[in-house]
Amino acid sequence: MRYFIMALAVLTAPPVFAQAEADLKPGEIVKDCDFCTDLVLVPAGEFTMGSDPALPGTDMNRGEGPQVKINIVKPFLLAKTETTHGQFKRFVEETGYQVKPGCRVWDNEFVDKPEASWRNPYQPAKPLDNHPVGCVSWDDAQAFIAWLSKKIGKAYRLPTEAEWEYAARAGTDTLRFWGDNPDEACHWANTFDVSGQEKYPFPWSHSACKDGYADMAPVGSFKPNPFGLQDMIGNVWE
């Protein structure tokens, strides 16, 4: 199933290497080609995966628990930002890969739109090359990564669920990596805030700040988390 809602979408998740170069230090950046996303070395470490049921907003029915201690035994390289529309377009143009259309979009409710596609994910209808790619499936992500691995000559892969959450938390144990105050989101992530609420007056709670993006934001528009990664929260749904 492909999804796309106002500021979220199933995305070609950031690729990682199976093994990081031993001479790198945490936070250092690797760039494999002129069009490749910067890769950031994420250190090894331990964290608690899953949400604390006592915290506000936790929904155990959505798979947010139970909490489990996870040990990330080796450092790994993770893309600094989300895969862009332009990068995915280059893959499609070079390979002729056919992405099946169809997306679940928000239209006063979640609705499957057979005409929606990565080229037109509805919000916005014509994404810019520096927007994150949306309306793609896991199979599409695997095809993109296989192409990239062959082109660059290194073994890219998708992060595991544990690796992704570890990287998103970035060594913090607060509600969000920047702290517990949702009203500070506009410095760090494209979430549903005043900008979104002004364009889409849904009866939802929203951050009391304004980041200027009612829909998708270009990748890398917000401050990085403590691991040096951007776009790990908000913008598109991974």
Give the model's confidence band at 160: pLDDT under 50 very low, under 70 low, under 90 confident, else very high: very high
Give the model's confidence band at 21: pLDDT under 50 very low, under 70 low, under 90 confident, else very high: low
Asked which of 61-65, 115-119, 179-183 is least confident by mean pLDDT, the reply is: 61-65
- Structural contact between residues 153 and 147, judged by C-beta atoms closer than 8 angstroms: no
Q: How many CB atoms lie within 10 A of CB 123?
A: 21
Per-residue DSSP letter, 103: E
Q: Is residue 137 over pLDDT 70?
A: yes
| DSSP bridge partners of 157 | 16
pLDDT tens across 80-131, in order? 999 999 999 999 999 999 999 898 876 667 789 998 899 988 777 889 999 9
User: Would you tell me the crossing angle of helices 138-152 and 85-95 to the nearest 10 degrees?
Assistant: 80
Tokens of 109: 């409710």
Give 138-199 as a 3 state SS string. Answer: HHHHHHHHHHHHHHHCCCEECCCHHHHHHHHHCCCCCCECCECCHHHHHHCCECCEHHHHHH
